Amino acid sequence: MGRSYGGDAVLAALAFTPGEFRGGSDIAGVSNLGLHIRSLHPIFGVVWNARVGRVETEEDLLRSRSPVFKGDQIRVPLLVAHGANDVTGNRVHSDLMVDALRRAGASARYLVFPDEGHGLARPANRLRLDAAAE
């Protein structure tokens, strides 16, 4: 289970090492590196371009490392959660990941919290997430 970068790690672990895990929970993780880099403020984009890859010249590399394009490799249950008002991690990453999983016939449960942002601040929402993860 992971949130934000931890959610990225969950998605990558399940997509790139099938068979190693029995399930996962992703909260506000990035599923498409190219899309994410394009959405960043230019100051942050410089860092991502240097450390992860340049969208302009390394689209294939970014695509090969984006879990959303490996949805068919995820063969274990995945819980995806996202705050509808998240301005840090765009909800489109969760939408796309769940769509890819469902198209591949994988088990995906998707929780969207209409009154949350990047983190889950409300105790009732944290309890709902924990109950779903259990």
pLDDT band at 68 (very low <50, low <70, confident <90, very high): very high
From the candidates 4, 39, 72, 99, give the one annotated as an active-site residue. Answer: 4
Residue 17 φ then ψ, to 5°: -135, 60
Catalytic site includes residue 86: yes
pLDDT number for residue 35 = 94
Q: Which pLDDT belongs to residue 88?
A: 86
pLDDT at residue number 80: 98
Q: Single out the residue of 55, 49, 2 nearest to residue 30, CA to CA.
A: 2
Question: How does residue 49 score in pLDDT terms, banded at 50, 70 and 90?
Answer: confident
Cα 29 from Cα 89, distance rounded (Å): 7
Share of the chain above pLDDT 90, in %: 79
Domain boundaries, the chain: 2-31+66-133
Enter the pTM of the model: 0.92
Phi first, then psi, for residue 23 (nearest 5°) are 170, 175
Q: How confident is the model at residue 93 (pLDDT cuts 50, 70, 90)?
A: very high
Q: Which of 39, 72, 95, 118 is catalytic?
A: 118
Q: What is the pLDDT of residues 96-112, one digit of tens each?
A: 999 999 999 988 999 99
Catalytic, out of 25, 31, 82, 86:
86
The three-state DSSP-derived secondary structure of the chain is CEECHHHHHHHHHHHHCCCCCCCEEEECCCCCHHHHHHHCCHHHHHHHHHHCCCCCCCHHHHHHCCHHHHHHHCCCCEEEEEECCCCCCCCHHHHHHHHHHHHCCCCEEEEEECCCCCCCCCHHHHHHHHHHHC
118 labelled catalytic: yes
Taking the domain 2-31+66-133, which CATH number applies? Answer: 3.40.50.1820
Q: Is 4 a catalytic residue?
A: yes
Q: Is it the case that residue 41 has pLDDT exceeding 90?
A: no
